[in-house]
């Protein structure tokens, strides 16, 4: 269904048919379509949704829509929505709303939930705790499979996932039981007998990106989260892990292009916000580039004697920047997916230098041929060849080491990407270039 | 356990303890550690693993290791491994092995499996069919919940996932039943009563990245895959979707840094392979940059009159390139995660132009102040200001439209990123810069 069709139904006041249509839609899609109708219409459509769908649709809305909708709902309607939502989604919503709206939501929730919400809100922003869900199925080790299945029957509907269940002893996590295990073994076995004790788990304070990466690496549907005493406190599910990984890649790509990352989508970010997140880096890079300009100014005389020297600057600076960007991008991504780590630095440098030599020779030969054809000047081809190989080696070296060093000192490696590397390399390129030509031509 | 410890056990011939240690490890980790021991030792350790673990470890190995290991295994050992593997993993393995090894594997598999493997191998490389698994739980619509659970008991162990089950009628997919539904409704209900008929599914020929994106969007654990007649042929599970999304992000980051993407990891790619995947783009960009150089050569006279002009070139080219990279990166990522689509092009252009004006003014003012302080020349500040705003607008315009156009004509938008955009913008920057200064200074 499209936004136009919804508008059509609303205009015709054909709520019955609209309701039926909505029932066959996924909440993600409903939330997306509602972005295109007015605030009043959002509330109208929202009230047509079944309780569960309404709560899920709410959790998929963007921040502005949520805030407007909350303003339009009565306290009891709001209470119903919050009651139906999974706790981790509620916490996500609360984290992004202004204080007065948060207060109103907390007012309509019961005390137990409020305490749980506050606990979750207290976990650091990027921690596993901040994205975990506390609704999971827990078993005691002496429960039988039949008792376990019975428990799922009783409480399963209120749990986000029943695919994996967790066995605890005095709240401590001691084993994991997959629902497959539960359904394919004898009903009289105890949890202790069938549980897997090689548990892959994470701590509430672990970085959420690490948790997502491990869920991906081991192909899990959920990872149990424990506190410092190994007590089970929640789970992070694979759907949340996927979102974390996607956001991480988006963040890296932004930073690698010198854009301060933002959590909002492109269209919901204002022009000034966009301008701000781009200007900071641009200003810094612009001022650094003036250094290159000043150095270039020192070689005015050389350029006066050989005016063609200036025509090679764009090519040399471009090639240096591109070579550096290539190496840094490859290393940044390798670090992000866990393929490369800091201790590999020597291996990486050795590899990059060898790559640089090969690449440098290829580029120098092609460029040398062009120079000889266009200028009939082998000396110039030699000078540019030496410059080119030196620049490529320098570019690859700087491009591969800076991200590794950043990682080591706890800075996001994605900063050390194209734009910054290029700006650094521009200076180096000019220095090397004029050093080589002044030497060869005795300028 | 580390590779050193494994070597220690092997040296002491303490196989019993090594075996116990291996049992407590996840196959992903075993495969990773085995990368560090010799070929012979790999085979030795591999034989200590239980059947299931061995098969899983095998599926996580890199290509070279697999090939070596297959060479060391007897036919019956190989048969056991292949029998234990899920069919989608077997197909993945086969796709990357040389023909003679593939033949050996196909020889030890039974005919039915061989036919299934061949069907899967025939799907196009980037299609949903190529990553799907054909082992799923299927129900008939008149089966009761009790019968369904019984079926899972009987066949569940051989299925990769039992979390969602699929209801078919004459092989056509008509509904989906989540295991949660199955366990929380009356045992006498029929599948038809409890199944969800709003099915999210994909076609075998759909792009695997689209399927992964939809699994992510809707938070699914698996998506059913149908053929053109809506007949159910397999499922794509969330763990495979996560890998597809991760590979896609890696590929985009590579391409955005002008590196031809490769499926192999950094360290397992040879120096020449690396050099090759980087040289192609570098050569192209280097030759394009000479155009900028030639244009620059045309303004030799202007530079002879005002030698300081050359000192601003790095800053202007750098800023233009960075602005363009920013816009293209934001749009490329927006396209990748489905936030922006081609029909949004006018909205995007309008937004980027407004951002450009704000950014351009900020940069011009800061740069103008610097010029006035350093050179006491307001005219120069004005000339650079006009140039700067024009360049920023041009950069944002080119940076945002090229990826959208690429998407529209079926080219990967990630090509239209930093390096290419920068090279194009370098030429534009030189043209605009000298047009502006020659006009203002009547050169």
The answer to whether the Cβ–Cβ distance between A329 and B256 falls below 8 Å is: yes
The answer to whether the Cβ–Cβ distance between A162 and B183 falls below 8 Å is: yes
Chain A residue numbers touching B200 (CB-CB < 8 A): 26
Chain A residue numbers touching B430 (CB-CB < 8 A): 314
Average pLDDT across chain B, whole number: 86
pLDDT of residue A6: 82
Which among A318, A332, A359 is the nearest to B423, CB-wise?
A318
Query: Which candidate in A197, A242, A269, A415 is best for mutational testing of the B interface (most B CBs within 10 A)?
Result: A242
> Interface pTM (ipTM) of the complex?
0.79
Structural contact between residues B379 and B306, judged by C-beta atoms closer than 8 angstroms: no
Which among A249, A334, A339 is the nearest to B249, CB-wise?
A249
Which among A252, A287, A329 is the nearest to B254, CB-wise?
A329
Q: How far apart are CA B348 and CA A330, in angstroms?
A: 29
Spatial strand order of the sheet with B164-169 comes to B138-140, B164-169, B172-178
Chain B residue numbers touching A239 (CB-CB < 8 A): 216, 219-220, 238
Is pLDDT above 80 for B374? yes
According to DSSP, residue B260 is labeled: -
Query: Which candidate in B50, B257, B292 is best for mutational testing of the A interface (most A CBs within 10 A)?
Result: B257
Question: Which one has a higher pLDDT value, B115 or A157?
Answer: B115
Strand partners, A184: none
pLDDT of residue A416: 81
pLDDT of residue A268: 79
Burial of B121: CB neighbours in 10 Å, binned 0-12, 13-18, 19+: middle
**A222-226/B222-226 β-pairing:** unpaired
pLDDT tens profile B204-232: 999 998 899 899 888 888 999 998 889 99
CB pairs under 8 A between A and B: 339
Looking at CA atoms only, how far is residue A64 from chain B in angstroms? 17
Per-residue pLDDT tens, chain A, 443 aa: give them.
777 888 888 888 888 888 888 888 888 888 888 888 888 888 888 888 888 888 888 888 888 888 888 888 888 888 888 888 888 788 888 887 888 888 888 888 888 888 888 888 888 888 888 888 888 888 998 999 888 888 888 887 667 778 889 999 988 999 999 888 888 888 888 998 889 888 899 999 999 988 998 998 888 889 999 988 899 988 999 988 988 888 888 888 877 777 777 777 777 788 888 888 888 888 888 887 788 888 888 887 787 777 778 888 888 888 888 888 888 888 888 888 888 888 888 988 998 899 999 989 998 998 899 888 888 888 888 888 999 999 999 999 999 999 999 888 888 888 888 788 888 888 899 899 988 888 888 77
Average pLDDT of the residues in B337-356: 88
pLDDT band at B201 (very low <50, low <70, confident <90, very high): very high
pLDDT tens profile B358-372: 989 998 998 899 888
Residue A235 main-chain phi, psi, to 5 deg: -135, 150
Spatial strand order of the sheet with A138-140 comes to A138-140, A164-169, A172-178
Residues 6+ apart with CB under 8 A from A49: A22, A30, A57
Note the pTM of the prediction, 2 decimals. Answer: 0.80
Structural contact between residues B227 and B204, judged by C-beta atoms closer than 8 angstroms: yes
Q: How far apart are CA B391 and CA B369, in angstroms?
A: 19
Q: How far apart are CA A212 and CA A243, in angstroms?
A: 9
Is pLDDT above 90 for B88? no
pLDDT band at B64 (very low <50, low <70, confident <90, very high): confident
The answer to whether the Cβ–Cβ distance between A363 and B282 falls below 8 Å is: yes
Is pLDDT above 90 for B393? yes
pLDDT of residue B394: 92
Chain A residue numbers touching B219 (CB-CB < 8 A): 239
Structure token digits, residue A102: 């948060």
Looking at CA atoms only, how far is residue A408 from chain B in angstroms? 19
Question: Which one has a higher pLDDT value, B60 or A262?
Answer: B60
Nearest chain A residue to B154, by CA: A184
Chain A residue numbers touching B351 (CB-CB < 8 A): 266-267, 271, 274
Looking at CA atoms only, how far is residue A266 from chain B in angstroms? 7
Nearest chain B residue to A282, by CA: B319
pLDDT of residue B335: 87
Residues 6+ apart with CB under 8 A from B361: B389
Is pLDDT above 90 for B167? yes
Assign residue B13 a region: left if phi > 0, alpha if psi is -120 to 50, beta otherwise? left
The answer to whether the Cβ–Cβ distance between A293 and B315 falls below 8 Å is: yes
Looking at CA atoms only, how far is residue A54 from chain B in angstroms? 15
Looking at CA atoms only, how far is residue B172 from chain A in angstroms? 19
Query: Which candidate in B187, B330, B342 is best for mutational testing of the A interface (most A CBs within 10 A)?
Result: B330
Which among B157, B179, B423 is the nearest to A179, CB-wise?
B179
Neighbours of A350 (CB within 10 A): 11
Structural contact between residues B363 and B330, judged by C-beta atoms closer than 8 angstroms: no
Which among A184, A279, A325 is the nearest to B156, CB-wise?
A184
The answer to whether the Cβ–Cβ distance between B322 and A362 falls below 8 Å is: no
Q: How far apart are CA A300 and CA B234, in angstroms?
A: 69
C-alpha dist (Å) from residue B287 to A355, B105, B425 = 20, 47, 14
Residues 6+ apart with CB under 8 A from A228: A203
H or E stretch covering B176: strand B172-178
Q: How far apart are CA A139 and CA A145, in angstroms?
A: 10
Q: How far apart are CA B396 and CA A331, in angstroms?
A: 27
Spatial strand order of the sheet with B202-203 comes to B202-203, B222-226, B232-237
Chain A residue numbers touching B28 (CB-CB < 8 A): 217-218
pLDDT cut 70: percent of chain B above it? 99
Burial of A329: CB neighbours in 10 Å, binned 0-12, 13-18, 19+: buried
Average pLDDT of the residues in B119-140: 86
The answer to whether the Cβ–Cβ distance between B266 and A330 falls below 8 Å is: yes
Strand partners, A232: A226
pLDDT band at B150 (very low <50, low <70, confident <90, very high): confident
Neighbours of A9 (CB within 10 A): 20
The percent helix, strand, coil of chain A (3-state, each to 5) is 70, 10, 20
Q: How far apart are CA B43 and CA B34, in angstroms?
A: 10
The answer to whether the Cβ–Cβ distance between B292 and A315 falls below 8 Å is: yes
Neighbours of B201 (CB within 10 A): 18
pLDDT of residue A166: 92
Which among A322, A370, A419 is the nearest to B285, CB-wise?
A322
Query: Which candidate in A29, A59, A292, A315 is best for mutational testing of the B interface (most B CBs within 10 A)?
Result: A315
Which among B238, B332, B359 is the nearest to A238, CB-wise?
B238
pLDDT of residue A438: 86
Chain B residue numbers touching A238 (CB-CB < 8 A): 221, 238-239, 242
Q: How far apart are CA B59 and CA B57, in angstroms?
A: 5
Strand partners, B144: B190
């Amino acid at each position: 269904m499209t936004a136009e069709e919804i508008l059509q139904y609303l205009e015709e006041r054909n709520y019955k048919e609209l309701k039926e249509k909505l029932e066959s839609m996924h909440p993600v899609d409903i939330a997306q379509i509602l972005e295109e109708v007015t605030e009043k219409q959002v509330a109208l459509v929202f009230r047509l949704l079944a309780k569960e769908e309404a709560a899920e649709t709410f959790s998929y809305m963007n921040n502005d829509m949520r805030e407007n909708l909350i303003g339009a709902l009565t306290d009891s309607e709001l209470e119903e929505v919050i009651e139906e939502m999974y706790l981790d989604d509620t916490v996500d919503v609360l984290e992004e709303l202004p204080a007065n709206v948060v207060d109103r939501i907390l007012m309509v929730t019961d005390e137990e939930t409020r305490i749980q919400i506050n606990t979750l809100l207290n976990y650091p922003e990027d921690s596993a705790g901040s994205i975990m869900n506390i609704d999971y199925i827990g078993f005691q080790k002496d429960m039988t499979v039949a008792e376990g299945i019975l428990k799922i029957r009783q409480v399963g509907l209120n749990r986000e996932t029943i695919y994996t269940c967790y066995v605890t002893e005095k709240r401590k996590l001691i084993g994991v039981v997959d629902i497959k295990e539960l359904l394919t073994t004898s009903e009289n076995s105890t949890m202790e007998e069938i549980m897997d004790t090689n548990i892959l788990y994470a701590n509430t304070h672990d970085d959420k990106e690490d948790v997502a990466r491990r869920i991906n690496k081991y192909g899990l549907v959920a990872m149990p989260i424990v506190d410092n005493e190994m007590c089970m406190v929640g789970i992070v599910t694979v759907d949340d892990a996927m979102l974390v990984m996607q956001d991480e890649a988006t963040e890296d790509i932004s930073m690698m292009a010198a854009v301060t990352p933002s959590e909002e989508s492109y269209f919901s970010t204002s022009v000034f916000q966009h301008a701000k997140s781009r200007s900071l880096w641009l200003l810094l890079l612009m001022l650094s580039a003036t250094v290159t300009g000043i150095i270039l100014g020192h070689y005015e005389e050389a350029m006066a004697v050989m005016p063609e020297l200036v025509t090679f600057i764009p090519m040399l600076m471009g090639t240096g920047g591109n070579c550096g960007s290539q190496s840094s991008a490859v290393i940044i991504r390798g670090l992000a997916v866990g393929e490369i780590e800091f201790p590999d630095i020597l291996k990486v440098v050795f590899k990059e230098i060898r790559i640089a030599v090969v690449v440098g020779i290829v580029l120098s030969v092609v460029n040398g041929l062009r120079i000889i054809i266009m200028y009939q000047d082998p000396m110039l081809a030699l000078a540019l060849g030496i410059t080119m190989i030196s620049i490529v080696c320098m570019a690859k070296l700087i491009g591969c080491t800076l991200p590794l060093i950043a990682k080591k000192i706890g800075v996001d490696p994605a900063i050390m990407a194209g734009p910054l590397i290029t700006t650094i390399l521009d200076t180096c390129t000019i220095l090397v270039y004029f050093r080589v030509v002044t030497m060869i031509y005795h300028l």
